[in-house]
């Protein structure tokens, strides 16, 4: 009987030591996650103040990453610019670059989402309508593609309307 109590106490002690070590590791990982999140927020706030983001800067990096085939980095850059939420780069340009990135890598439903997102706040965006029509045409949605091609033809900018 005393052996049973001894084994039980040893079992409970072993479980407590294991749980203590596990809680220490878990709390350390949670602490690191919180520290990294605070650093990221601090970096985001300072980056917005110190770096002059403009369209040329954004499109330079985007073109560089797309040229080298780093689509995930270009998507991350675009999502980061959207997360900063500054009005230096027009959102329709960012959404268009995201749609192009996804379309060029055969993620058609995500590309369609971003083209539709552009059209939700800029329904007369000629390039977005035309790109979406090409997307539907390549996917075999003839009715949708024809409708969008007609809509794009009606919205096509005349040479006198283009500002250089």
136 three-class SS: helix
pLDDT digits (tens, 9 = 90+) for 96-135: 888 888 888 888 899 999 999 998 988 888 888 888 999 9
Question: 32 and 98: one domain?
Answer: no
Determine the average pLDDT of the residues in 13-39.
84
Q: Which of 14, 19, 80, 87 is nearest to 44 (CA)?
A: 80
> How many angstroms separate the CA atoms of 64 and 56, rounded?
12
Which domain, by its residues, includes 6? Answer: 1-51
Asked if the structure places residue 161 within a domain, the reply is no
Q: Is 164 a member of any domain?
A: no
Last residue of a domain, one of 51, 72, 90: 51
Mean pLDDT of 128-153: 89
Task: Give per-residue pLDDT as tens, 29-84.
Answer: 888 888 878 777 777 676 655 555 566 666 666 666 666 667 777 777 778 778 77
Which of residues 33, 51, 69 is at a domain's end? Answer: 51
The domain total for the chain is 2
- Please tell me whether residues 44 and 84 are part of one structural domain: no
28 located within any domain: yes
pLDDT at 159: 42
Write down the pTM of the prediction: 0.58
């Amino acid at each position: 009987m005393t052996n049973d109590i001894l084994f039980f106490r040893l079992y409970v002690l072993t479980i407590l030591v294991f749980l203590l070590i596990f809680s220490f590791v878990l709390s350390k990982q949670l602490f690191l996650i919180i520290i990294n999140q605070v650093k990221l927020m601090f970096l985001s706030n300072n980056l917005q103040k110190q770096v002059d983001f403009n369209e040329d800067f954004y499109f330079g990096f985007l073109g560089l990453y797309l040229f080298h085939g780093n689509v995930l980095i270009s998507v991350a850059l675009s999502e980061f610019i959207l997360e900063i939420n500054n009005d230096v780069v027009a959102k329709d340009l960012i959404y268009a670059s995201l749609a192009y990135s996804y379309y060029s890598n055969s993620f058609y439903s995500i590309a369609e989402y971003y083209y539709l997102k552009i059209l939700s706040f800029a329904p007369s965006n000629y390039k977005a309508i035309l790109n979406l029509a090409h997307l539907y045409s390549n996917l075999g949605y003839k009715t949708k593609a024809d409708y969008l091609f007609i809509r794009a033809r009606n919205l096509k900018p005349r040479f006198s309307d283009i500002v250089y």
